[in-house]
Amino acid sequence: MKKLAILLTLILTGTLNAQETNLSQIEKEFNAAIDASRFKTHLQELTERPHVSGSKTNEVVQNYMSSIMKTAGFEVKAYPYDVFLPSTPGESFIEIVTPNRQTLTQQENVLKEDPFSSDELLWKGWNSFSGSGDVTAEVVYVNYGTREDFEKLKNLGISIEGKIAIARYGGNFRGYKAKFAETNGAAGLIIYSDPKDNGYTRGLAYPEGPYFNSSAIQRGSLLTVDFTGDPLTPYQPALPLDGKKKIKRLDPSEVGLHSIPVLPIAYGEAQKIMSKMQGDPVPLAWQGGLPFTYRLEGGSELKVRIKVDQPINFTRVANIVGTLKGSEFPDEWIILGCHFDAWGFGATDPNSGTAMLLSLSESLGKLAAKGYQPKRSIMIAHWDAEEHGVIGSSEWVEQLRDELQAKAVAYMNFDGGVSGKNFGASASPTLKHIITEASKSVDYPYTDQSLFEFWSKGENQPTIGNLGGGSDHIAFYMHVGVPSLSGGAGGPTAYHSNYDSFHYYSTFVDPEFQMGPTIEKL
């Protein structure tokens, strides 16, 4: 008998009402219930417009998810919170002041090949939780902006005191680039995606290929507090301000938010600054992919201005959680989740995962309607405000901490479930064996192999990482000790750029829309 897929292993094996049910029949019914076309439909609907957390279009996405899960037979509940975050980029500006004044572009080019790229709701590049300020200063290149990079500059006798640091994405979390720049006295920070890391040196650039073009900008949060979630309510839920239960909130001055202005730009715009720098050449390991020798300092004749005025206020966000109650053990919860807020359209990140979970809810609903009722409860959760600092899931875990410690059996995270064709997973020790065995029963698309065979690459076992930070499994695994896993199929992406659209997904990520249903089967 084939091994059951992971969800069936956790939920259905030996726990169905009909104890004599043949497990291979269950798997057959489950696979038959999967309608591959629904994944495509959901992805189209979810990514019709940009939907940043706190926006009206994000509310449209919430309503769509609620409707789909209710129709599938799930009990659906919204969990609202009032969290402290910037829901818009505010005002920002970047220019070369001397030797010749030149305003730099802060938004991706509109492409005739991509009809989504002209959407009026798309915003310029921004980093949420940037400090506000207006700075004109000399520039210093700081490589990836790691702690070691700043130490290297000190050893070379180069000070960034009062200057604007230029860092490339990669090497560490973007928020630490800002933190280390501040610690070392920088007046501002510019972050760009270097083509050596994601651009034309790695392959064809969009729209000819999947890599960043010269106008693509990676957005993202800079929040670097010592806990996940809302920055003003550590370890307690940011319940609505107008609700009955009042939560004590910190004053923003107590949190240690960033004080310097930070802006992300495209490598095409970074080139306009960096090609004018006149200092000593960088160490060999610091050289990126732009077609000139990188230099450490810009010199006194090159000055750049960056301005950020980013308001941070209380913003209403809401998680949407659907429950298919267990018939015998309703207080044992299997939780699957993915966030739904995005920096733009969010086709790969996160809504390929959202679409997969919506399709899964429909498949499980069909099984339940046929009498295959799970004894354990299945919860499918859609998290808000993940992009700003893993906020929605953290607040939910803080709100339900005691229940989760008593009832949660496992949490499975599918943030950006499909961004390519290379499967990977990280998991807590107790789930590593389960996902490995489950992968043996799933055929991998675009190949003649099982997922296990593709994933293990000829070895006896696939490589399964240990869980780290960066997505919605954090609070479950690290705060309340729920066994967790995070998985999906990766590849080159339009990560956090305005190009992460349905057009991008259908052209380069998964043209036949096979990967989403494959992850659903797993």
Percentage above 70 pLDDT, the chain: 95
Query: Are 228 and 389 a contacting pair, CB within 8 Å?
Result: yes
Confidence of residue 265 (pLDDT cuts 50, 70, 90): very high
pLDDT at 143: 99
User: With bands split at pLDDT 50, 70 and 90, how would you rate the model's confidence at 449?
Assistant: very high
Question: Could you tell me the end-to-end alpha-carbon distance of the chain, in angstroms, rounded to an integer?
Answer: 16
E strands in 193-328:
220-221, 262-265, 303-309, 313-324
Asked if 465 and 403 count as a contact pair (C-beta separation under 8 A), the reply is no
Question: What CA–CA distance (Å, rounded) separates 478 from 436?
Answer: 23
**pLDDT over 80 (residue 464):** yes
Q: What is the CATH number of domain 91-222+258-309?
A: 3.50.30.30
Name the region of 245 (left: φ>0; alpha: ψ -120 to 50; beta: rest): beta
Please name the residues in contact with 147: beta carbons below 8 A apart, sequence gap of 6 or more: 172, 176, 180
Residue 424 has pLDDT above 70, yes or no: yes
> Strand 484-490 and strand 422-427: pairing?
antiparallel
Predicted pLDDT of residue 17: 47
Nearest to 509 by CA among 488, 492, 485: 492
**386 has catalytic annotation:** yes
Mean pLDDT over 393-414 rounds to 98
Positive/negative CA dihedral, 68, 72, 73, 75:
negative
- H/E run at residue 486: strand 484-490
Helix (H) or strand (E) holding 71: helix 56-71
Confidence of residue 5 (pLDDT cuts 50, 70, 90): low
Is the confidence at residue 20, as pLDDT, over 80?
A: no
pLDDT at 18: 44
* Residue of 27, 332, 386, 395 with catalytic role: 386
* pLDDT tens-place string over residues 323-365: 999 999 999 999 999 999 999 999 999 999 999 999 999 999 9
**Taking all residues of the chain, what is their mean pLDDT, rounded to a whole number?**
94
Q: What is residue 520's predicted lDDT score, i.e. its pLDDT?
A: 84
Q: Are 339 and 472 spatial neighbours (Cβ–Cβ below 8 Å)?
A: yes
pLDDT > 50? residue 13: no
Q: Region 442-449: what's the mean pLDDT? A: 91
Q: What pLDDT, on a 0 to 100 scale, did the predictor assign at position 89? A: 97
Cβ distance 395 to 492 under 8 Å?
A: no
Query: What number is the average pLDDT over the span 165-173?
Result: 98
Q: What is the pLDDT of residue 21?
A: 52
What pLDDT was estimated at residue 3? Answer: 39
Q: Give tens-digit pLDDT for 208-229.
A: 999 999 999 999 999 999 899 9
For residue 35, what pLDDT is reported?
85
Does domain 24-86+313-521 bear CATH number 3.40.630.10? yes
**Quick one: average pLDDT of 39-57?**
98
Q: Where are the domains of the chain?
A: 24-86+313-521, 91-222+258-309
Alpha helices in 217-321 (DSSP H): 267-274
The mean pLDDT of 268-296, rounded to a whole number, is 98
Please give the pLDDT value at position 170.
97
Confidence of residue 7 (pLDDT cuts 50, 70, 90): low
Angle value at C-alpha 106, between 105 and 108, nearest 5 degrees: 90
Rounded to the nearest 5 percent, the helix, strand and coil shares of the chain are 30, 20, 45
In DSSP terms, 377 is beta-bridged to 333
> How far from 42 is each of 47, 257, 337, 369, CA to CA, in Å?
9, 37, 16, 21
